[in-house]
Structure 1
């Protein structure tokens, strides 16, 4: 029997009803301001051509750059026409730079869908029914990944950490030595807690103890705000979405898989357990698009792909290291202000704290259902908590992309001021 600290649990994931309930509670706090207040709400956005609106500072979708939104208004065009094929090909090439891979055997995918589609890609293509998967649990979204894998028949073990922490290398090593796993999954930043998982040493451990195991990363809330060195860290898959730090409207599932993962796909004994999410169906399409050759399996969204092209172009105009450093710099300042207010973070250890969001414990006498509407009236939208064990005890502040890299917008200072004033209106007095 596994020791208590390891906390394997194949049945503890929240049910669909539980998950819906948590999300509905999160949404309940996201009241928008009345239309009559919007001009005052948007005073800090004078440089933007966007209509006045509350500043969206949840952990995705984020605020978008004007040029990205303009790119999305591209006129209608054929998804197999030469102009669009060229644009899509450039997007796939730029993704290689974003993920930091130069290995020609690796393959980027861009599919119409949400970040959750990435889970299906992994579960239906890289794992066959009855194969073992080790899920490192750090919150609501790692639980969701485990649920998805089970749907496709995987034999899932979870190492679940307490809220605000992550599984540690010794317990992961012990698990890898006890059983052969086809795949290990880790949520780089769990959006429910703001917990950042370390990837470099984790992957090195897997290479040492169980080199045949595929290392798959849920990077939905980390790609483009946290460093991911795909080749250097020997990662086998990273799945993400367009609407977070990449800075493109929601609707695209974005992923990168290694040559090792592609070989695992091609050596399956059974066909992929999905049709739309079949990487065997999409692999030749992606390869053709990247080679600037028209191809078709299912219709992409040209407008979203144009927006993604603009977002990636902006990201790659400067060194990635500079982008990651800026997110860390602003995140550190935000966390210092949070601490100065006498508040604690869900992720208690600094090494476990994400740089694109902060999950903040509320004072005992303050309820999120009271505070979030007050913030909304001040023109700032934060998110409620969704971790099943602590959902009512905290709120979440997303700070990534344009809100960080364009300080002239004033988004961060506006949010921190609103938070301090809102807490005071709820009766909180900082120490």
Structure 2
């Protein structure tokens, strides 16, 4: 492979060579007897990653954002939705839901903070919500929300309310116990913690969520995102039978299958602990440079990425450029009004799990030297 920059943004992440080889699978029919079990096994392995026995995964062609769109299967015009937002992606999830007639109540936090139990309790006491959404890791801030506690609080106050988790930047790098925590929806994409090139949208729905969908009063007002179309397809492939609605991204499914096998080749708890350890060490390194993370607390900091406030006198563009010149691609900020004030670095997947690659060490060295070249003294 020709020399290139390491992609150390918060997704897409670096991909294992076996995953890239799977992408080179020759042209293959989506109903080929060799492909059907690969798709079926991928559905089953997704369950293992989020630790559920009975929830229904949907694996479709599209970005993680398509998962937001699929919430139209659960929403009807006028439904009340509580959106707990910790950054850019929580805000835009709400924007998507409003398209389908949802009435949004926000719990907004200042940059780097998480919602409090008091804020959630106050909102739940005022309104009966059809759905509560929470971004597990908001990629714009690196803030980690405690979805276990949020789900417990919501279900205690209103068992009928759906708990919807945007896990685009968390599935595969953060612990998720779908069944034990009584989650209803987890949304993700292929290109982050699952370690697969972009192009697959993955939604996991509880049996309760499926009951809500099946008992809705009005027709689902979309075509491609409609679970009436996709549920028979997922069921068929899992039963090792070919089916067709829209052509799946065959090579991406092969890549997903390969990556999931790698992920599950060791206990999933081992993966989560390693991500937590590497992230804690990286945050300590950042603090050692005299910098501050956007996430305001250790327990509210993501394990798959870190957002860092820029020191005075350093601008984001020269810093990103400086690291790029050393073979490391990082990302600037995206929070409205603050985008130029911070930068973001991803630490997920093989960059974390395979120490011999030295990806994190290379980031540390490049960041230290680039800051120094820009006149910053730690």
Q: Same fold (TM over 0.5)?
A: yes
Give the whole-Å Cα distance in 1 for the aligned partners of 2:164 and 2:155.
Answer: 13
User: 2:50 matched to which residue of 1?
Assistant: 99
Picking from 257, 260, 265, the partner of 1:312 is 260
1:121 is matched with which residue: 47, 51, 70? 70
Indicate the larger mover: 80-89 or 183-192. Answer: 80-89
Report what 1:190 is aligned to: 138
The one-character-per-residue Cα deviations of 1:140-184 (angstroms, maximum 9, x if unpaired) are 000010000011111111110001012111111111111110000
Aligned residues of 1:177 and 1:210 also touching (Cα < 8 A)? no
Structure 1 SS opposite 2:225: coil
The corresponding residue for 1:266 is 214
What is the distance in 2 between the residues matched to 1:77 and 1:416?
A: 42
The match for 2:236 is 288
Residue number among 34, 54, 57 corresponding to 1:108 in the alignment: 57
Secondary structure of 1:344's match? coil
Q: Distance between the aligned counterparts of 1:245 and 1:62, measured in 2?
A: 8
| 2:81 pairs with 1:133 | yes
What is the aligned partner in structure 2 of residue 6 from structure 1? Answer: none
Write the distance in 2 (CA, Å) between the matches of 1:69 and 1:268: 41
Gaps of at least 5 residues in structure 2 are none
Deviation at 1:410, TM superposition (A): 1.1
Which aligned runs of 4 or more in structure 1 are off by greater than 4 angstroms?
A: none
CA drift of 1:51 comes to 2.8
Matches within 5 A, 1:23-172: 50-103=1-54, 106-122=55-71, 124-172=72-120
> Do structure 1's residue 210 and structure 2's residue 158 form an aligned pair?
yes
Post-superposition Cα deviations, 1:246-305, rounded to whole Å, max 9, x if no partner, equal 000000001100001001110111111211011111011101111111111100011000
- Partners of 2:32 and 2:5 lie apart in 1 by 38
Q: What TM-score do the two structures reach when normalised by structure 1?
A: 0.87
Q: Does the residue aligned with 2:106 lie in a helix, a strand or coil?
A: strand
Check the 8 A contact 1:163/1:389 in 2, yes or no.
no
Q: 2:327 aligns with which of 359, 379, 400?
A: 379
**TM alignment of 1:318-333, pairs within 5 A:** 318-333=266-281
User: 294, 297, 311: which one pairs with 1:349?
Assistant: 297
> 1:11-22 to 2 correspondence within 5 Å?
none
Deviates more, 1:358-367 or 1:169-178: 169-178
Cα distance in 1 for residues equivalent to 2:127 and 2:228: 28
Q: What SS does the aligned partner of 1:294 have?
A: coil
Give the distance between the partners of 2:320 and 2:49, measured in 1 at CA. 34
1:403 pairs with 2:354: no
| Partner-residue secondary structure (3-state), 2:35 | helix
Instruction: Answer yes or no: is 1:201 the counterpart of 2:152.
Output: no
Deviation of 1:381 after TM superposition, in Å, equals 0.5
CA contact (8 A) 1:71 1:303 kept: yes
For structure 1, list consecutive stretches of 5 or more residues without a partner in the other structure: 1-49
Q: Could you tell me how far apart the structure 2 residues matched to 1:363 and 1:256 are?
A: 40
